[in-house]
Amino acid sequence: MAPASVFEQVIEYANRTDPYRLYGQLREAPVSRQADGSYVVSSYREIVALLHDPRVSSDGRNLAFVPATQPAPDENSLGHSFIRLDPPEHDRIRRLVMRHFGPPHSPGKIDGMRPEMAEIISGLLDGIADQKQADIVGEIAHPFPVIVISQLLGVPREDEARFSEWADAVVESFGPSAADPAERRRVRTDALAALRDYLSGLADARRERPADDMISGFVTYNGPEGRLSPEEVVQTATLLLIAGHETTVNLITNGVLTLLRHPGVLERLRLEPELVIRTVEELLRYEPPVHFPALRAALDDITIEGTTIPRGAPIVLALAAGSRDPACIRDPEEFDPDRDPNEHLGFGGGIHYCFGAPLARLETQLALSEIFSRLENPRLIADPPPYRASASLRGPRHLQIEFDRVLPRGSR
């Protein structure tokens, strides 16, 4: 058997705790052809070029074949939501959805939720007030974004637990993995079907009786560009739930882990609370939740760095490797919140640049501020922590910490 390529080693679970040394090796060949016929791009400049190249498609239907390490696209997948569409369809839906989420039509939407979000995260910290140990993932980082996105969409509180279970099942099945592709596909299809049924019921209810939430906005708005079809509403709501879920969990958790590993930065954060803004930006570069975004397809032969990617070939953009590329980023292996400029690839780039970035930033800033102002003397119990299976959406499955006590709200 041929020895595993560097990329194959990256997706081996044993390397989940620290893929960064391997990313250094991967960048030695910025564009590398894999045995399964896909092309992995790992240097900052080339990734940025491809993110902005109209010959690169996010639509799985343009792939000549699906590489063995990826789940096959299926009927119910995110394959038809706007993250997996190209212009002009992508742009039309993204604009129609953005109306209800951010500028120019809803400029104060996310910042206006700040007090509610602060209340939710404070409540989660209150919930561990009697403890001296906690799992940051299970008790804080996981419930927080699910509650927020559910409230934004208009999902009733009592349904959140079911919601979160389905989203977890879908997320676990994303990206390259050595696990059995048929089994992954089955788990994903079942969870997506359940989400779909639930969301179409909710959309019907809002059509009858609109409320002040995004799903009501999706089903009622009709403008010069038309309206979202019932199918597009369900696809989009599913996408927002899933895209905004595990990613933010991982950023918050990676933030706690990284700050506990860098006590000097943590001390500064206590003295200069506004440093949290730059800290979150640096986390998106240094420990990003998304290592490989949706697989791309070459719409034409594309020659880059001396390699020709043939039409139809799958392209893997190694965002996390690009964000540590020493050719473009000074001292990339250093965790340095003072870094300026900080042009990371944590939210991707080009037309698919993360739609939820303002929400994700605010959630993570609020969570880290609250966690580190309320926990006295927090310490890691296990380092490294256990990781989730996915190499694409990488993050700890649990992060056990201990602390002397939980301070009351607002005490520092």
Residue 359 binds ligand HEM, judged by CB under 6 A: yes
- In single-letter form, the type of residue at position 265 comes to V
C-alpha 340/C-alpha 321 separation (Å) is 19
Whether residue 314 contacts residue 38, with contact meaning beta carbons closer than 8 Å, is answered with: yes
* Site map 133..162 versus ligand HEM, x via CB under 6 A: ----------------x-------------
**Based on CB atoms, which residue is closest to ligand HEM, 59 or 403?**
59
C-alpha 290/C-alpha 347 separation (Å) is 8
3 state SS of 208: helix
Q: Which among 6-14, 210-218, 340-348, 365-373 is the span making contact with ligand HEM, rule CB under 6 A?
A: 340-348
Whether residue 268 contacts residue 260, with contact meaning beta carbons closer than 8 Å, is answered with: no
**Closest distance of CB 405 from ligand HEM, Å:** 29
Residue 390 binds ligand HEM, judged by CB under 6 A: no
Residue 247 binds ligand HEM, judged by CB under 6 A: yes
Tokens of 134: 């906690």
**Based on CB atoms, which residue is closest to ligand HEM, 79 or 293?**
293
* CB-nearest residue to ligand HEM: 356
> Which residue's entry shows tokens 């839906």?
93
User: How many residues in the shown chain lie near ligand HEM by CB under 6 A?
Assistant: 26
Residue 253 binds ligand HEM, judged by CB under 6 A: no
Q: Going by C-beta distance under 8 Å and a sequence separation of 6 or more, which residues neighbour residue 96? A: 218, 221, 223, 225, 226, 227, 228
Reduce the secondary structure of 148-201 to three states and give it as a string: HHHHHHCCCHHHHHHHHHHHHHHHHCCCCCCCCHHHHHHHHHHHHHHHHHHHHH
3 state SS of 310: coil
Q: Which among 135-143, 224-232, 243-251, 373-381 is the span making contact with ligand HEM, rule CB under 6 A?
A: 243-251
Residue 347 binds ligand HEM, judged by CB under 6 A: yes
Q: Going by C-beta distance under 8 Å and a sequence separation of 6 or more, which residues neighbour residue 182? A: none
**Based on CB atoms, which residue is closest to ligand HEM, 102 or 332?**
102
**Closest distance of CB 410 from ligand HEM, Å:** 26
**Closest distance of CB 284 from ligand HEM, Å:** 6
Binding site for ligand HEM (CB under 6 A): 58, 82-83, 94, 149, 239-240, 243-244, 247-248, 251, 288-290, 293-294, 346-348, 352, 354-356, 359-360
